[in-house]
Structure 1
Amino acid sequence: MGTLKNEYLGNLRTEGLHIPSGNKIITDAPVDNMGKGEAFSPTDLMTFSLSACMMTIMGQVADREKIDMSGLKTDITKVMAANPRRVAEIHISFAWPNLVLSDKQKTMLINAARTCPVAQSIHPDIKLEVTFNLY
């Protein structure tokens, strides 16, 4: 048995279930692709997963190095291509106001983000633009 299930609900909407926790997530096709745009689209989840994975791996390094991760945020922009319809670019901007880090700590956190499993799984044709505003 897998750890995830997904069910098509109709009207270009799905409901995913994380079996171990019982948590659910809804996806909706975006308005520009015949959907209602009332929930994350599958491609939104893809780009969000990249950001979440980066933050998670950074968090592991931060825990080890005794760095408080509170306040770390990202802004994510997805750029779609038309033919074929696909994610062409992902722009992620990290912001962490009022942070004091050594250059070594910044390098460790940036390297952790860039080498997370989702980042390593992104097709090389997708342009990744990641900005780290680690003050």
Structure 2
Amino acid sequence: MTSKVEYKGDLRCESTHIRSQQIILTDAPPDNHGRGEAFSPTDLLSTSLATCMLTIMGIAAGEKENLLKGAYAEVTKVMASAPRRVSEIHLKVYLPEQYPVDDRPRLEQAGRNCPVAKSLHPDIMQDIEFYWTLK
């Protein structure tokens, strides 16, 4: 078992990671009857793409993994209606400029092919931009 998810009422859930006992709260967003005081489930879906990409890029970097410290992604999701679903995920991935230029395409490819990216339905547009500008 990976997690236990408990409905707490008022459109809030508490998810506990079994191994670490870390907790994530989710709320329905304000545009869907919720309070929006925590990540929504669709926020987590979109954020999972970014965390998976950065993790896989760290693995792919191997001995150069330390050079990626401080990298981050900004995540924007776009919702569609009828049916209500995530239709687009936009990521801006910011990476350290000191990372070797000749190895960047390989890392970008590794990120684009992370397990979450490959698990999302093909109808969900993944708009990913890489910026090797962090000092």
Structure 1 pair 21/123, CA: closer, same or farther in 2 (3 Å)?
same
Within the candidate set 111, 114, 119, 2:112 is matched to 114
Moved >3 Å (runs of 4+): 64-67
Name the SS for the 2:85 alignment partner.
strand
Alignment correspondent of 1:93: 92
Structure 1 pair 73/66, CA: closer, same or farther in 2 (3 Å)?
closer
Q: What is the identity, as a one-letter code, of the residue corresponding to 2:34?
A: G
In structure 2, distance between residues paired with 1:50 and 1:66: 19
Alignment correspondent of 2:74: 75
Name the SS for the 1:68 alignment partner.
helix
TM-score in terms of structure 1 length: 0.93
Uncovered stretches (5+) of structure 2, i.e. residues with no partner: none
In structure 2, distance between residues paired with 1:67 and 1:19: 29
- 1:1-135 correspondence runs (5 A): 2-65=1-64, 68-103=67-102, 105-135=103-133
Name the SS for the 1:84 alignment partner.
coil
In structure 2, distance between residues paired with 1:29 and 1:66: 36
Q: Which is worse superposed, 34-43 or 105-114?
A: 105-114
TM-score in terms of structure 2 length: 0.93
Tell whether the 8 Å contact from 2:14 to 2:25 is kept in structure 1 after alignment. yes
Q: What is the identity, as a one-letter code, of the residue corresponding to 2:15?
A: G
Shift of 1:85: 0.2
Tell whether the 8 Å contact from 2:59 to 2:65 is kept in structure 1 after alignment. no
% identity of equivalent residues: 49
Work out the number of aligned pairs and report it: 133
RMSD across aligned C-alpha pairs, in angstroms? 1.3
